[in-house]
Amino acid sequence: MKLTLEESAVDGDARCGTVRTSRGLIEVPTFMPVGTRGTIRALSTHEFSSLRSSDATVAADVMLANTYHLMLRPGAETVAALGGLHRFSGFERHMLTDSGGYQVFSLDPDVTDEGVEFRSTYDGSTHLLTPESAVRTQELLGADIQMVLDVCAPLPSTRRVLSDAVRRTALWAERARGVHSRTEDQALFGIVQGGTDPELRSESASVTVALDFDGYAIGGLSVGESRDEMLPSLEAALAGLPRDQPRYLMGVGDPVSIVEAVARGVDMFDCVLPTRLARHGTLLTDEGRLNIKRAEFASDERPISASCRCATCQRYPRGYLRHLAAVGEPSAATLCTIHNLTWMMDLVAQIRAAIRSGSLGELRLRLAANHAGMAPGQSTTGSGELATQ
Amino acid sequence: MKLTLEESAVDGDARCGTVRTSRGLIEVPTFMPVGTRGTIRALSTHEFSSLRSSDATVAADVMLANTYHLMLRPGAETVAALGGLHRFSGFERHMLTDSGGYQVFSLDPDVTDEGVEFRSTYDGSTHLLTPESAVRTQELLGADIQMVLDVCAPLPSTRRVLSDAVRRTALWAERARGVHSRTEDQALFGIVQGGTDPELRSESASVTVALDFDGYAIGGLSVGESRDEMLPSLEAALAGLPRDQPRYLMGVGDPVSIVEAVARGVDMFDCVLPTRLARHGTLLTDEGRLNIKRAEFASDERPISASCRCATCQRYPRGYLRHLAAVGEPSAATLCTIHNLTWMMDLVAQIRAAIRSGSLGELRLRLAANHAGMAPGQSTTGSGELATQ
C-alpha cells in the first residue's frame, strides 16, 4: 500500500501535510512515541490515546512498537491470534513496527547475507532473523507500517564497513519487497543507510527508491555522531527520495535535530528519549531540561510548566512530583511521561505552525538557543534499548 | 468537626446513608483505597479520581494516606507548605490519614505511656511518635479525617496484653482529643481496641465514646485472626458506638468480611488488598480471583470480566494484560489496579442496592459462595505494609 503525502504548506524544504493510510490520515511532521512491547512504558494505552498538544491540534497519531521484543514475548503468532497489534494493545490509531534489526545488531550477532543469528535476551535461545522472516513477523503483528530489515553500521566505521552495509541493506530490501504480501492494509518502508558518508547515502537512496517502496526511512543516524556529522548525510539521503512520499528519520528525538531535519524535508520521527528521560525524572521544558528529583523542588508549588496543558501540569505541583520520584512511586514515571510526550506534541504543533506561517527559521534559532546541549546520538544508547525501551 | 450520619435505608443493622464533612458528602457504606504516600500505587490521582463503579453510582470518594510514610518523606511540614494533602496530591475529594501507629508498631518499637520510639525504615533515624505529635502531624497533612494514635496488639495476645492496649489507647485518646485544634475542617476519630475479647471491646468502646469523638473506628482486627474470631468482637465494639455517627473498620478489605461487617452496622473500610493484589497480577472477579500471569490467558481475547465497565475491561484482552504482567511492564499494575478498584466499587454498589432493597442476606450468601477462601487477616501483612503499601 503505497503512501503518498499531500502537502498543505511548505517553508523551504520543510512541509506540512497528510499521509493517507488504510486506517486514516497521519498529519506530518509527526513524532511517534515508542511503545516497545506494545505499551508506552509507564503509560496505559488509553491514557496515551488521550494525549493532546496544549493547543489541542496534535494527537497521538502513531505509536511505534519493537518487533524484536514482540517476536520473543509474547510472540508474533500470539499477537496475531489476539487480532493483531491494534486489538492486542487497545490502540486504535496508527502503529508502526521496526524490523527488529536495530536491537539484534546491538547483540553482536552472526551476520551473513542470509540474515542475522542472535541469542534472545529473554532466555538465551538462538534465532535467525532474515529479510523474509522480518516481513512475515511484522505481517503477523499487523502494524499499519512495517520496516525492512537493514544493516545499521556503528559510527564511526570505515568506508568499507559502511559500503558493505549499504550493499547488504539493498540486497535484503529487494528480498523483503519480494515477499511482502499484506499489501492491501500495510505499508512497507525501505531504509537508506550509508553512515556519515554523503556519497554512500546518495547511492543507498537511489537503489532503495528503485525498489519502489511505500515510504522511505533514513536509518543508521543518531548512533553517536555529532549533529554536524549527521546533517550532510541526511541531506544526501533526502535528495534521492521522492517528494510525494513520507520520509522518516529513525531514532532521532532531540528537539534541535528534529527541527533541523524538518527544515530539510523529513516528515516522521521516533525516539525513546522523552519517555526514557521521564522515567529518570528529567522533564522537557521550553527553557531546557529540569530534573524533578532535585531538592530545590521539594516545596515548589508551581507546575512543571505554566503554559503546558497536560494532565500533569494541570493538577500536580513540582513538590508532589519530586516526592513521588524521590520515593520511587511508579506514578512519578507516568506523570513525567505524560508531560514529556505532551511537550513533544507541543514541539510538533510549533513546527507545523511555523511552516504554515513561513517562520521555521525563527523557531530553529529559538530551539538552538535552549536545546543545543544534546547531540542526536544521545537519544539512543544501543543495547540499553533492549532493557528499557 | 463532629460527623453525623444520615441514614437513607436500613436492612437489619446495615445502613445506607451520607456523612456530611466540611468538604461535602461521603456516601456509605464505602471502601477507601489506600494511597500510602499520597498516591494509589501505580495509579495517578487523576486516573483514580475518574474511577466509577460499572453502574456509575459509586465514585472515588475517599483516599487514605499513611502518616508514617508522609511524616518521613517528604515530611508533614513540606506537605503543609504545598497547601496540604489535597493540593499536594491533586485529589479533590475526601482524604483520611491514619495516625502512623499501625506501621510503627510493626517495627518493634519502644513503647511507653509517653509514646512510641522507632527507627525510620528510610534512613534509620530515631523518632518519637506521641498522641500529641500524631495529631499535630495530621493537622499539618490536612486530611478531612484524622485518626488518634492507638495501641494495636498482635493476635493472638494474652488478655493482659490486650487489656494494657485498651488502657493505653484510652489514655492516648484523651490526650489526642485535648490537643486537636483543627476542629473547623478536620474530624478526629477515636479507635476501639480489645483484640478478640468482646468484653474488652465493649469496655474500649465505652471509654472511647465518653471522649466524644467526631467518628469511631474499630482497630486491631484483620491482623491474622479468623473471621469467626473477628466477628463477635466487632459486634461488641459496634454495640457501644453511637448510631448517628460513622463507624470505620480499619484494614479490612476481603469481600466476605466487608459484607458481614456491613450487616453489623459498619460504614467505612480501607485495605491495601485490591491494589496489592493488582500489582501481583491477581484480579478480583465475581467468580473469585484470577491470576493474569497464568499461561492459559496468553491468547485469551476476552476482557477480565464481561460485565465490568472499567477502562481495562472496556479495552484490553486478557492476553495483552498477561503479556504486560509477564514482561514486567508497569502498565500491567496500572491496568490491574483500575480493574480491582472498580470491582471494589461494584461491590459497594451491590451492597448499597441490597440494603435499599432489603436483600443483603442474599448478597451475603452469594459472596460467601465465591469469596470465602480468604480470611480477613490475609488482607494485611504487618511490616510488609511499609515497603509496598
Indicate the SS3 state at residue B258: helix
Active-site hit among A98, A197, A254, A346: A98
DSSP string, B124-175: --EEEE-HHHHHHHHHHHT-SEEE-------SS--HHHHHHHHHHHHHHHHH
pLDDT band, very low/low/confident/very high, at A321 (cuts 50, 70, 90): very high
For residue A320, list chain B residues with Cβ-Cβ distance below 8 A.
38, 82, 88-90
Q: Report CB contact under 8 Å: A46, B311.
A: yes
Q: Is the pLDDT of residue B145 over 50?
A: yes
**Which residue has 477515636 as its cell numbers?**
B190
Taking residues B349-354, report their average pLDDT. 98
In this predicted structure, what is the pLDDT of residue B353?
98
For residue B289, the distance in angstroms to the closest alpha carbon of chain A comes to: 23
Q: pLDDT for B307-342, tens place per residue? A: 999 999 999 999 999 999 999 999 999 999 999 999
Indicate the SS3 state at residue B184: coil
Q: Regarding the domain with residue range A61-271, which homologous superfamily does it belong to in the CATH classification?
A: Queuine tRNA-ribosyltransferase-like (3.20.20.105)
Active site residue A346: no
Q: Is the pLDDT of residue B374 over 70?
A: no
B357 touches chain A (CB under 8 A): no
Q: What cell numbers appear for A112 in the block?
A: 551473513
B41 touches chain A (CB under 8 A): yes
Cis bond before residue A317 (omega within 30° of 0): no
Closest CB to B88 among A82, A317, A338: A317
Q: How far is CA A23 from the centre of its chain?
A: 19
CA dihedral for B188, B189, B193, B198, sign (positive or negative): positive
Tell me, what amino acid is at B323? Answer: H
Q: pLDDT for A71-125, tens place per residue? A: 999 999 999 999 999 999 999 999 999 999 999 999 999 999 999 999 999 999 9
C-alpha to C-alpha distance for A285 and A184, rounded to whole angstroms: 41
For residue A374, the distance in angstroms to the closest alpha carbon of chain B comes to: 28
Q: pLDDT for B51-74, tens place per residue? A: 999 999 999 999 999 999 999 999
B334 touches chain A (CB under 8 A): yes
Q: Report CB contact under 8 Å: A298, B74.
A: yes
The widest CA-to-CA distance across chain A, in whole angstroms, is: 61
In this predicted structure, what is the pLDDT of residue A379?
42
Of the candidates A84, A77, A97, the one whose C-alpha atom is nearest the C-alpha of residue A36 is A97
Q: Is the pLDDT of residue B106 over 80?
A: yes
Q: Is the pLDDT of residue B387 over 50?
A: no
**Substitution target from A82, A316, A331, A336 for chain B, most B beta carbons within 10 A:** A331
In this predicted structure, what is the pLDDT of residue B372?
81
C-alpha to C-alpha distance for B190 and B169, rounded to whole angstroms: 9
Helices B255-263 and B227-239 sit at what angle, rounded to 10 degrees?
A: 30
In this predicted structure, what is the pLDDT of residue A385?
39
pLDDT band, very low/low/confident/very high, at A382 (cuts 50, 70, 90): very low
Indicate the SS3 state at residue A361: helix
CA distances from residue A217 to A191, A265, A342, B195, B285 in whole angstroms, order as listed: 5, 12, 24, 69, 46
**Which residue has 467468580 as its cell numbers?**
B287
Helix, strand, coil: what percent of chain A each, to 5? 45, 20, 40
In this predicted structure, what is the pLDDT of residue B89?
98
Least CA distance to A332: which residue of chain B?
Answer: B44
Q: Enumerate residues 6+ apart whose C-beta is below 8 A from B366.
A: none
Q: Is the pLDDT of residue A340 over 60?
A: yes
B330 touches chain A (CB under 8 A): yes
Q: Is the pLDDT of residue B379 over 60?
A: no
Mean pLDDT, chain A, rounded, equals 95
For residue A82, list chain B residues with Cβ-Cβ distance below 8 A.
299, 301, 317, 319-320
In this predicted structure, what is the pLDDT of residue A372?
81
Q: Report CB contact under 8 Å: B331, A39.
A: yes
Please check whether residue A177 is in contact with residue A213, taking contact to mean a CB–CB distance below 8 angstroms. yes
In this predicted structure, what is the pLDDT of residue B376?
64
- Report pTM: 0.96
Note the ipTM here: 0.96
Of the candidates B289, B161, B262, the one whose C-alpha atom is nearest the C-alpha of residue B220 is B161
Q: Is the pLDDT of residue B129 over 80?
A: yes
Q: Is the pLDDT of residue A348 over 90?
A: yes
B121 touches chain A (CB under 8 A): no
Helices A330-357 and A360-371 sit at what angle, rounded to 10 degrees?
A: 150
User: What burial class does residue B352 get, using C-beta atoms within 10 Å of its C-beta: 0-12 exposed, 13-18 middle, 19+ buried?
Assistant: buried
User: What burial class does residue B209 get, using C-beta atoms within 10 Å of its C-beta: 0-12 exposed, 13-18 middle, 19+ buried?
Assistant: middle
CA distances from residue B321 to A40, A214, A359, B312 in whole angstroms, order as listed: 14, 33, 46, 9
Closest CB to A299 among B40, B82, B311: B82
> How many A×B Cβ pairs under 8 Å?
127
C-alpha to C-alpha distance for A33 and A63, rounded to whole angstroms: 6
pLDDT band, very low/low/confident/very high, at A387 (cuts 50, 70, 90): very low
Q: Report CB contact under 8 Å: A327, B83.
A: no
Active-site hit among B11, B61, B98, B144: B98
CB atoms closer than 10 angstroms to residue A196: 23
Of the candidates A61, A6, A11, the one whose C-alpha atom is nearest the C-alpha of residue A358 is A11
B324 touches chain A (CB under 8 A): yes
DSSP string, A290-344: EETTSGGGTT--S-S-TT--SHHHHH--HHHHHHHHHHT-HHHHHHHHHHHHHHH
Q: Report CB contact under 8 Å: A315, B45.
A: yes
**Which residue has 528529567 as its cell numbers?**
A282
Q: Show the DSSP H helices in B220-359 as ranges.
A: 227-239, 255-263, 273-279, 311-315, 318-327, 330-357
Q: Where are the domains of chain B?
A: 5-272, 279-371
Q: How far is CA A290 from the centre of its chain?
A: 23
Of the candidates B337, B192, B351, B389, the one whose C-alpha atom is nearest the C-alpha of residue B256 is B351
Q: pLDDT for A114-152, tens place per residue? A: 999 999 999 999 999 999 999 999 999 999 999 999 999
Q: pLDDT for A33-63, tens place per residue? A: 999 999 999 999 999 999 999 999 999 999 9
Helices (H) and strands (E) in chain B, counts: 16, 16
For residue A41, list chain B residues with Cβ-Cβ distance below 8 A.
329-331
C-alpha to C-alpha distance for A110 and A122, rounded to whole angstroms: 18
Q: Enumerate residues 6+ apart whose C-beta is below 8 A from A125.
A: A119
In this predicted structure, what is the pLDDT of residue B363?
98
For residue B42, the distance in angstroms to the closest alpha carbon of chain A comes to: 5
B5-272, CATH topology level: TIM Barrel (3.20.20)
Please check whether residue A156 is in contact with residue A197, taking contact to mean a CB–CB distance below 8 angstroms. no
C-alpha to C-alpha distance for B353 and A269, rounded to whole angstroms: 52
Active site residue A270: yes
List, in sequence order, every residue forming a beta bridge with A118; answer none if it has no partner.
Answer: A127
Q: Which of residues 64-93 of A touch B (CB under 8 A)?
A: 69, 73-74, 78, 81-83, 87-90
